[in-house]
Chains A and B, each alone.
Chain A
């Protein structure tokens, strides 16, 4: 049995060395999984999701890297030799896996620059949704209708990214048309009250409400207000409904498009 373990597989690497390396790798993977699983359990409600994922990935790959460095002498891998041979090898690998390396490098830059984080709402390459994961080769987006989209990191890195969650506050804008018969001052007061009563329409930056245009059928009032980014969508839909309800209760008319038509006959008669 001992003789069997001492058989050389290649170079100076014996079967024993090889099996020991496999065992260390297996233990390292197991250990990395156990540690990250337990850390996830403990830290889920204490860290932000993107920070947690970054921490867990760093720990997982850190353990694997340590394991690799410790078993490399057993497998006859001379890391300093690899560095010397790296030039030629690098060119070969580079040509063979240009796309993978490009994604990998882009992924590292994305992790460093952080234009997007897990949980952000973004638009990239015409895809809108929530960032589910930022991996080393690709970024996973869940669209608003629940589709899974994988965007390669080199594409993400070279594209214009719109990040709807990057800032803590975000503005929305409505234009509400009021009939020429209605009292415009009263309408503006009602809008101000609706805005003041909503907790998540921010006090500062101050909301702007003003007559924007004397339109063909209506006096157009523009409303610009800021909300916390996390509440933007809810506030935007709630507020418009409340403005309409307030107008209905107070007799402010929102007109249909209308046109006054003069007939030539009428003019002749008068």
Chain B
């Protein structure tokens, strides 16, 4: 379902929603219907591409943050100087864009998960994060690409003590997602500096050949200077 389509009569249907673009006279009409919601947009364009892509899960019900916290259902304990690779799952949203040359605009964001937010840190200087929970997988888990993405996370303990990791916070403005018909994927790293401090960031690499890169929302919205890295200062 993800991919790029020429602007014209279009119908995408799955078990969760239906997207249609139809021409009425000189105008194109975008319609998305799901169980409890209907959304319509009028497209004043003659040419372009419709791009359906997984996007960072921080847009629904409205955009209030660019951080995401994943709470691990089973904490990971890492020895001094050790490094481990685990797989996690986190929710994704589906972005529908209209694009022409290098400019793109968000038409619709579709969410198939119930969003929940949390505070990481203190009310004074912490950050609001999109909240999700994940099992810890030792190999690539099965997933529903319309609802969730799989993250390959390398956890490195650069300190001289044992560290327990319970949750991980990312700045999703640095997220690089890749997708194919079966999987949405992103690659990330967590460098533990001490028992309470770690640095997280995403890498720009697909899991396998043939995966396409998802459009990044902060690029589409022309937000400048995404930092990408996030320093977790209020506990792991």
Residues of A whose CB lies within 8 Å of any CB of B are 45-46, 166-170, 196-197, 199-200, 202-205, 226, 228, 230-231
Q: Quick one: closest B residue to A170, CB to CB?
A: B123
Q: Known: A168-B119, A169-B126. Is A203-B223 also a contact (CB below 8 A)?
A: no
Q: Is the CB of B117 within 8 A of A228?
A: yes
Q: Quick one: closest B residue to A231, CB to CB?
A: B64
Q: Is the CB of B126 within 8 A of A168?
A: yes
Bound: A228/B116 CA distance, A: 12
Select B131's contact among A170, A197, A203, beta carbons within 8 Å. Answer: A203
Q: Is the CB of A203 within 8 A of B118?
A: yes
Q: Known: A200-B117, A228-B64, A228-B117. Is A46-B222 also a contact (CB below 8 A)?
A: yes
Bound: A228/B128 CA distance, A: 7
Interface residues of B in 63-83 (CB under 8 A from A): 64-65
Q: Known: A167-B123, A169-B128. Is A204-B223 also a contact (CB below 8 A)?
A: no
Q: Quick one: closest A residue to B131, CB to CB?
A: A203
Q: Quick one: closest A residue to B65, CB to CB?
A: A228
Query: How many residues belonging to B are interface residues under a CB distance threshold of 8 Å?
Result: 21
Complex contacts, A169 vs chain B, CB 8 Å:
119, 123, 126, 128
Complex contacts, A45 vs chain B, CB 8 Å:
222
List, sorted by A's number, 11 A–B pairs whose CB atoms are closer than 8 Å.
A45-B222, A46-B224, A169-B119, A169-B126, A169-B128, A200-B61, A202-B117, A202-B119, A205-B119, A226-B123, A228-B117
Select A199's contact among B117, B123, B125, B223, beta carbons within 8 Å. Answer: B117
Interface residues of B in 217-234 (CB under 8 A from A): 222-224
Bound: A202/B118 CA distance, A: 4
Which secondary structure dominates where chain B touches chain A? loop
Complex contacts, B60 vs chain A, CB 8 Å:
199
Q: Is the CB of B223 within 8 A of A46?
A: yes
Complex contacts, A226 vs chain B, CB 8 Å:
119, 123
Q: Known: A46-B222, A169-B126. Is A199-B119 also a contact (CB below 8 A)?
A: no
Q: Is the CB of B128 within 8 A of A168?
A: yes
Max chain A C-beta neighbours (<10 A), residue from B115, B119, B126: B119
Q: Quick one: closest B residue to A206, CB to CB?
A: B118
Q: Quick one: closest B residue to A171, CB to CB?
A: B123
Q: Quick one: closest B residue to A43, CB to CB?
A: B224
Bound: A46/B60 CA distance, A: 21
Complex contacts, A230 vs chain B, CB 8 Å:
64
Complex contacts, B131 vs chain A, CB 8 Å:
203-204
Max chain A C-beta neighbours (<10 A), residue from B61, B117, B124: B117
Bound: A226/B116 CA distance, A: 13
- B121 CB to closest chain A CB, in angstroms? 8
Q: Is the CB of A204 within 8 A of B118?
A: yes
Select A168's contact among B61, B116, B123, B222, beta carbons within 8 Å. Answer: B123
Decide yes or no whether B114 CB sits under 8 A from chain A. Answer: yes
Complex contacts, B124 vs chain A, CB 8 Å:
166-168
Bound: A226/B120 CA distance, A: 12
Complex contacts, B19 vs chain A, CB 8 Å:
none
Complex contacts, A167 vs chain B, CB 8 Å:
123-124
Complex contacts, A170 vs chain B, CB 8 Å:
123
Interface residues of B in 183-214 (CB under 8 A from A): none
Complex contacts, B119 vs chain A, CB 8 Å:
168-169, 202, 204-205, 226
Decide yes or no whether B127 CB sits under 8 A from chain A. Answer: yes
Bound: A147/B222 CA distance, A: 35
Bound: A166/B123 CA distance, A: 9
Q: Is the CB of A203 within 8 A of B116?
A: yes
- A184 CB to closest chain B CB, in angstroms? 26
Bound: A200/B114 CA distance, A: 11
Bound: A196/B119 CA distance, A: 15
